[in-house]
Structure 1
Amino acid sequence: MTASLTSADTARMTRTGMAPLSAERGLELLDAAIRRNSPVAVAARWEFDGVTAPEAISPVLRDLLPTTPGSGAEPAPETTSGESLLDKVLHEVAVVLGHSSAGAVDPHEAFDQIGFDSLTVVELRNRLAKEIGIKLPVTFIYDWPTPTELVAHLREQMDDRTAGSAADAMPAEPAEDAS
């Protein structure tokens, strides 16, 4: 069932704390689960030391994360204010696809051509919402098919938000005296 996992699939699993299993170990765990007198059993191996994005872990499992300093469960450092929006998007794309750097991502190539599937689209959407604060529709890779086009859309959204905030902050016009 997992023989066709790509390195990106394995990287996604690792980010959520789930370690790959050999076929032999998976069958051992399945046999053990069948022997249990329990309504639910999960045949999985959890390795939270390599987790780089604790928010990617299911809330049910977050209490299992190590909290000691240097444990990999620490949040990633804040991005620098000088980092461009395109750099942020490319970084998130690279993380989701399991690349070691944003330089591995061509900003002009279509998302569906660089390896995105339904799971990775949702993961990128969630990561961008957390990083940038703009929630995208699930269809975003079809609406804005390349990182460059997506960045142009995000900039428009950010400009609209900024303009709306500035308009809200403007004082109201004084009422004219009717007398």
Structure 2
Amino acid sequence: MDIAETPGLWEFLSSLALGERLSGRVASIESFGVFVALDDGPAHPVYPGVGFISFAELAWQRFEEATDIVRVGQRVTCEFLQFDTWNGEARLSLRATRPDPFQTFADDTRIGQTLPGRVTKLVPFGAFVEVAEGIEGLVHLLELAWTPVETPEEAVRVGDQVRVVVTEVDRQYRRLVLSRRRALPPQL
């Protein structure tokens, strides 16, 4: 079936405005995103809903499974992002309807500030440290200890409680850069 010829679907999707709030019911959770049956929208001839939320648009915080955020049958209100003319669906954002915790954190944080945190993940180039609920920053390998280390495991382990210094807050890319070395007493 040609989606473009579905009665009412194209007209409905074309009438939506960027940022408009749309409500509906989670119709299906798939490995690539979440379909939403919109209250005021027509049925989709192929998909379980005319609205679609990519995983990146579900929540501000990191999550393992979409079911950590939504469940089939749950009512949601989302923000309209764009008309996907290829699939004939409304691309939606659930997270856009909620305050961004990173921006709130950035409002209350300054460069040079020392914060307590917990190591959440080790990567070849450093460690991620959670300094507030849902707010993680990267401590680069060079900033883990006063003496050079080749792997993050030489300085910290996942779950370690550490003190870090804020060295950069990038609001646009929601990136936080931290230093553990600057929070440690100098090595003589």
Q: TM-score range by the shorter chain?
A: under 0.3
TM-score (norm 2): 0.27
Structure that is richer in helix per residue: 1
